[in-house]
Structure 1
Amino acid sequence: MTAPEKARTPEDLARLWFEHATARDADGLASLYEAAAVLELPGGELAGGRAAIRAYYAGFLASEPALVRGRTRKAVRKGNLALTSTRLEGGTVSAEVARRQPDGAWLWVLDAPDLTTG
């Protein structure tokens, strides 16, 4: 078993998210987040930590959502932080904060996605 690809730029995170989601890979999705990251869930609840994020995505993927790749926007960077965003179908924009890790890879710290399946 090979380790998941690491995001070498903040913009890579959206591509990797889509690849893991279309493969129905909840572990791969969770690997895109720091261990103590926070994911906003539908309804405003929060999933804190990689295990909770993985559990949420496992349920989300089990519903077999229709996934449409959005348009990744250029990240806004300041040092080891980046604001990433993707414009989704219908004009909705997801927003995330990513942090460069000691190995140079990027992981999300905060994520406020739009995960509607319609």
Structure 2
Amino acid sequence: ASGLLAGWQAALQAQGITTEDRMKLLPDRHTVIGAMAQYISSADSKVFQPMNANFGLVAAPERKFKGKAARIQAVIAESLEQIDRLASLRYNFLTEESTENNELDGGR
């Protein structure tokens, strides 16, 4: 999954998308990949312990739930919503940029 994020970021950079705009398109701690990225990038190197992806790293939902299963379902739903939103934003950035480039070069 980190390779996919790196590929998306590289494609956006190649399209000339600014660093600020690319940062807006990264998943946050409400997704497993975003939580893993934050864990890896913000951990104290003296006590860092590698770990597999797990729901314990994902930001907790704002409201309380009765039972672990209900909480995990809420985390999954929130993660999927964010991933759908980010995928749509990435698509819009890439298609808008492609359209602008085609208009600039006469549609070639």
TM-score, with length taken from structure 2: 0.27
Structure whose residues are more often strand by fraction? 1
Larger radius of gyration: 2
